[in-house]
Amino acid sequence: MYYLIQESLNETKKENLKTTDSQYVAVVSAAEWKESKDSFEMGIDMDPGTAEIYTTKAEVNYDSLTGSFSIPHRDNLSGEDCKFSFALDEKGIVFIDDTGRAEEIIAAIRQTKKWNLPSLERFLYDFLDQIVIDDLRLMEKYERELDGMEQAIMDGDENFPSGRLNAIRSDIRDLRIHYEQLIDLGQEFEENENNFFKQENLRYFRLFLNRMARLHDTSTSLRDYTVQIRDLYKAHLDIKQNRIMTVLTVVTTIFMPLTLIVGWYGMNFRYMPELDWKWGYPVIIVVSFVVAVGSLLFFKLKKWL
């Protein structure tokens, strides 16, 4: 697909790209790029193919700028990223994409954007903005979920979803890395080493970098929030275990003197006066009862129970 950057993105044919003064946007497959890359007349040192893409980045060539996008799926951040590459110069940008993701973003731009001052810089700003357009709502969703987890811990919920907390932390980490890569990409555009972009239009990249900085800060705050909730959950478990140990200690302490009494009168000596005394058995029962009740009252007084 080929588009001219005019008041909006207007679909055109490939042969029209060389006869127009408008900058262009092209989306081709990897096979099409291999066949027709020379027709775009870009000075490319390294071929921006789709075989080995790991990150979102940009690289400056002699007379072009190439790079790649690795975009996490927002509904499955732990899954495989959408990966495609690009090459651009002052005439326009070419996306080499076999996933269809670039075309989806361009379709969204065509439906929602019209420009008073059309330019490649403005298109790039809208393209990058579409990648993160719903991320603020995603962050808010995670924050509400984390608030619910914190409240569940405070309420003593026994079914705390610790696995879900780890999943959210992993998702936020992936987003944070993605934002850092987009910031590096935006800074490369803003640097404008090859002077592909007009100086007055570099403000678009600064706007994008400001937005990415806010999203990055938000993701960092949420990551810290997950750590706090994890620590709170561990503290809750420690308190619960301490209570159990306190109860066990109290029970053990109460039965220690009773065990002593049992051991004492379990000895097989012939001359124990209590054995022949008719009140011996009731007295031992009363003494044992007094020891148990006295121990409980002592622990209550000390607020150990």
- Domain 1-131 annotated CATH 3.30.460: yes
Greatest distance between any 2 Cα atoms in the chain: 124
Helix (H) or strand (E) holding 84: strand 82-89
pLDDT over 90 for what percent of the chain? 18
Q: Which amino acid is at 213?
A: A
Starting at the edge strand that comes first in sequence, how are the strands of the sheet with 57-60 ordered? 9-12, 2-5, 24-28, 92-96, 82-89, 65-71, 57-60
pLDDT tier at 66, thresholds 50, 70, 90: confident
Tokens matching residue 128: 């990058």
CA distance 124 to 300: 71
pLDDT tier at 154, thresholds 50, 70, 90: confident
Q: Count the neighbouring beta carbons within 10 Å of the beta carbon of residue 178.
A: 24
pLDDT tier at 51, thresholds 50, 70, 90: low
Whether 88 has a pLDDT exceeding 60, the answer reads yes
Tokens matching residue 56: 């979102």
| pLDDT tens-place string over residues 185-208 | 999 888 888 888 888 889 999 999
Domain boundaries, the chain: 1-131, 245-301
CA distance 203 to 220: 26
Whether 47 has a pLDDT exceeding 70, the answer reads no
The radius of gyration of the chain from alpha carbons, rounded to an integer in Å, stands at 36
CA distance 121 to 205: 8
CA distance 73 to 80: 8
Whether 267 has a pLDDT exceeding 80, the answer reads no
Give the CATH fold of the 245-301 domain. Methane Monooxygenase Hydroxylase; Chain G, domain 1 (1.20.58)
Angle at the Cα of 170 from the Cα atoms of 167 and 174, rounded to 5 degrees: 140
| pLDDT tens-place string over residues 204-261 | 999 999 999 999 999 999 999 998 888 888 888 787 888 788 788 888 888 888 888 8
Q: Count the neighbouring beta carbons within 10 Å of the beta carbon of residue 111.
A: 9
In the prediction, which pLDDT does 214 show? Answer: 93
